[in-house]
Structure 1
Amino acid sequence: MKTVIFFDGVCNLCNGIVQWLIERDHHDSLRFAPLQSDLGQRVLDDTGTPDLDSIIVIRDKQRYVKSDAVLIIAEELDRPYQRLSLLKWLPKQVLDVGYDFIANNRKRIFGERESCMMPTPDLKRKFLDVK
């Protein structure tokens, strides 16, 4: 079963992180979908998430948002990045404050695109609901 990462497809930071994750997904365990896609919109509706300021991860039929999602992604990576999942021992409120700060400022700092990225043909298999 693959771990699916729903991300803001027009956010430069989010797209950069997706590219970074693809390069480090040595076990081919990650799949991606922009929140702006039809599938992403259904996930937003199902989770009751009102906007695009949170990454959403689905693994083993469980949904994770904000810092919980980041920690799940870290578990999927090899060392040394996998060690980031050890942050789960910190209080969720503390982790989410850091997450929210980045989420609320990401477009101002890193900018945004006019449309979602289109994966290259060799990467298309890693993206869901991309036409």
Structure 2
Amino acid sequence: MTPSTNSATAPVLLYDGVCGVCNSAVRTILRYDQHGTLRFAALDSDFARETIARHPELAGADTAVFVRDAGRPGETVYLRSTALLQVAAYLGGWWRLALTAYAIPPAARDWLYERFAAVRYRIGGRHDTCPIPTADVRSRFLDSAYG
């Protein structure tokens, strides 16, 4: 789906741009995004570095980060499993079933997230560079390299 609006207030998902699992997840999100507004940035992008600078708790983060109100006074970041649950809430529809995972204590959810993250390259492979998105969705990626 092409973006209905490329609003500066739309949420942003920061992800590991060289991770095969992460890139597959981004392609899945793009396919099911009914709003067509969620934006993306690799963790090594300028956008991500600026976000990390505003949130010292993200220093050295190698995890999914969901950013609401990016660059605005009320900017909020969600990490690890909570970031993924924020994506599910954003997607809506049957994805909202994943929100039942909020019943699991965050420490347990994040422990499971970290166990999977530790083996993600063995599962999905690793790219030498962040793959370039297709032209029809490129505007949703916040990286100057994509023009």
TM > 0.5:
yes
TM-score (norm 2): 0.82
Partner of residue 56, structure 1: 65
- Alignment match, 1:76: 90
Listed one character per residue, the Cα deviations across residues 34-90 of structure 1 (whole Å, up to 9, x for unaligned) are 111111122233333243521111113211001110111110113211211221122
Does 2:134 align with 1:126?
no
The normalised TM-score by structure 1 is 0.91
| Residue 3 (structure 2) aligns with | none
Most deviating of 119-128 and 10-19: 119-128
Q: Which runs of 4+ in 1 moved over 6 A?
A: none
In the alignment, structure 1 residue 20 sits paired with structure 2 residue 35: no
1:33 aligns with 2:41: yes
Q: Does 1:6 align with 2:14?
A: yes
Q: Where does residue 100 of structure 1 map in the other structure?
A: 114
Aligned residues between the structures: 131
**Partner AA of 1:84 in structure 2:** A
2:62 aligned partner, one-letter code: D
Assess if the C-alpha contact under 8 Å between 2:10 and 2:38 holds in 1: yes
Q: Residue 80 of structure 1: SS of its match in structure 2?
A: helix
One-letter amino acid of the structure 2 residue matched with residue 8 of structure 1: D
Residue identity opposite 1:79 in structure 2: G
Secondary structure in 1 matching 2:92: coil
Mapped contact 1:9–1:34 kept (Cα < 8 A): yes
Percent identity of paired positions between Structure 1 and Structure 2 = 31
| Cα distance in 2 between the residues matched to 1:107 and 1:52 | 16
Which range is displaced more, 16-25 or 81-90?
81-90
* CA–CA distance in structure 2, aligned partners of residues 45 and 19 of structure 1: 27
Once the two structures are superposed, what CA deviation does each residue of 1:83-117 show, in whole Å capped at 9, x if it has no partner? 11221122001100111011111012221000011
Unmatched 5+ stretches in structure 1: none
Structure 2 residue runs without a partner (length 5+)? 1-8, 70-74
SS class of match (1:57): strand
